Amino acid sequence: MDDYEYYGLFLTQESKDKLAKWLFFNGYSPESELMKKRTGWYLDHCTLLHKSQRTSHFLLEDTLSTALIMYGSIIESIKIDGIGISDKAMAFRVVYPSNLCANKIPHITICTSNGGKPVDSNYITEWKDIEPITVEVKLQKR
């Protein structure tokens, strides 16, 4: 397999804007106390497979690689149905088949705080259900 950092579902610009508006109108504006503490802003993609996970998910790697070869970087719709917050990260929860994502909870990191990194979204345990939001993404390998 080619070398890569990760396979992911990358948000279109329209979808990034849609989610940013949702945040603004649902109590997560830049002026809110929670968002004032953020140190990093992401809102970019849902990682399906990071290179550090490839040895334990080799079938997933083959599936994602084949999908890119067969279909290219097509746009698909996915649903977001929750938001999670920890002391180091905030993320949207993504509804996606568990066999197509190496992470226990597929998610899109929104931002980090307190020295957190995007990987800290994997450790969020507190999730709040939200009215589902449909966004468009492209499967890509980077």
What does the pLDDT look like over 9-59, one tens digit per residue?
999 999 999 999 999 999 999 999 889 989 999 999 999 999 999 999 999
DSSP code string of 9-75:
EEEPHHHHHHHHHHHHHTT--TTSHHHHTEEEE---EEEEEEGGGGGG-HHHHHHHHHHHHHH-S-E
Cα–Cα nearest to 110, from 45, 47, 41: 41
* pTM over the 0.85 mark: yes
